[in-house]
Structure 1
């Protein structure tokens, strides 16, 4: 599984319009999201651009792999490159015309939620067909991108790649200690992990499976949507997963644990449907929830 060459530009024949220039990207007022070192903007009718000093082009490589090796619906990637001074990374991708599942969820009835969940379960099943290039890693057998492993000290890498689940467990404990927490509690976690976090093989995971990262768009063969919303059935809409920056081969419990953690304030029934879409790992979630919240506090 060879990483894609950077810079990457799709064949001009496959572009819906001329690629946006750096000036057009910087001047766009169609701001879709902004977090530290990352901006996502719309440029015209066809493009969304994710750019910034903390954008990792690995996300674009991941989407290209999915597009070329699976039937998982993802935004098409049209370009990936760096600014001349190599300080800013750009991913130019397809603009998905639709709305997020988060914005639509409260409008859905039981049958609509069943239809969406059926599609998402099929997408997850297709994702799982991507075999790991070796252990727990991201595309190209590089480090995992989940921000659990992030550190501002480059001399203390915690993100792998990992040959075994035990290696990954040890890195999590090391990150816990590096964050300044009690070594006695770290020992407690280590004993627990040694017993509980074993035999979870590496599976390809989105690793940020939340409603905000699922777009719902009309299928190309569907009739025009109703003015007050979409005609919610599996025949005329499809889910498209976006925001692949954390994706990679994680232990099999990781996707579920992260998804339930993403329920946030538990203001709706999304957690029930996560149980229908993903294989539940309830005990593993309970322990990861405790540890993750400590690391994020």
Structure 2
């Protein structure tokens, strides 16, 4: 639908820019008070109605209808996947309160009888920009736009936030953390890093190794994680190129997908991002932003992945 008579605010490319400030707060943002279950259920009915509106809206403008990210007028979208949760909404509130370019959460919907475990939805603002994509090119820091330093500011600032408890590992609201790399994709909460590590290593198996010697070498390497204590820091948890939006001027315009956010060991942000695609452009980005401090943890994390991948790959 290309009519010039349609107001821009109704078009699917209308966005609510969130200008990147010069600084991001290094003080821990307050944990938001999340809406009650009754309120979330009520909003869920509205989100369901907006689901059908989105179908009509996309048809009207001739754009693809995405059941996971529902496009709406007035610069709005609904994220509605089997991974969306109240914990994600809480993390977005905190990141936005600190000044990061994160969508504004308008409402949370709960769906008790949803199919395919799509039990939660978030109505939020649409941000401008284009997602980054990984590649095999070398990182040239001086040739990148200002987004690179702006993103580093975001990451380093939230790593300075003080956790509610110095050893607890949990979501922003004290509950379990969603992670695609554990059985059932849910972990915790944990009261210590040791408890966290024991959970990660518990499904270890020799199934994927060609010899007992290879298995024992991987196990020995993975166990080094437990031998090094780590601080607990606020972690995005899915620090990947496709979750970063950059505008036409090269500035950071969006930091998205906080579904795996929470308080985790300091290496978790970087080793999760660097486990695959070693040497790729995004690997270099993560290393430059601080991941190069955790190369030993990365080797242990890669070994841990080889030992436990069978336990979660089918989910």
Q: TM-score, normalised by structure 2?
A: 0.69
Q: Deviations over 1:69-99 (max 9, x none)?
A: x122211111101136466321111111211
1:141 to 166, 169, 174: 174
Is 1:118 equivalent to 2:149 in the alignment? yes
- Show the 5 A alignment for 1:73-84: 73-83=101-111
1:273 to 277, 285, 298: 285
Is 1:97 equivalent to 2:125 in the alignment? no
Judged with a 3 Å threshold, the aligned counterparts in structure 2 of structure 1 residues 40 and 2 are, in CA distance, closer, same or farther, namely: closer
Counterpart position of 1:243: 257
Judged with a 3 Å threshold, the aligned counterparts in structure 2 of structure 1 residues 74 and 40 are, in CA distance, closer, same or farther, namely: same
- Are the equivalent residues in 2 in contact too, given 1:31–1:41 (CA < 8 A)? no
Counterpart position of 1:291: 304
Counterpart position of 1:223: none
Counterparts of 2:135 and 2:127 in 1: how far apart (Å)? 15
Give the length in aligned residue pairs. Answer: 258
* Unmatched segments (≥5 aa) in structure 1: 10-17, 153-157, 218-229
Counterpart position of 2:78: 49
Judged with a 3 Å threshold, the aligned counterparts in structure 2 of structure 1 residues 86 and 131 are, in CA distance, closer, same or farther, namely: farther
Is 1:163 equivalent to 2:191 in the alignment? yes
Higher relative contact order (CA 8 A, sep 6+): 2
Counterparts of 1:32 and 1:198 in 2: how far apart (Å)? 47
1:33 shift after superposition = 6.2
Q: TM-score, normalised by structure 1?
A: 0.72
Between Structure 1 and Structure 2, which shows a larger proportion of strand residues? Answer: 1
Counterpart position of 1:189: 219
Counterparts of 2:249 and 2:218 in 1: how far apart (Å)? 51
Counterparts of 2:220 and 2:177 in 1: how far apart (Å)? 20
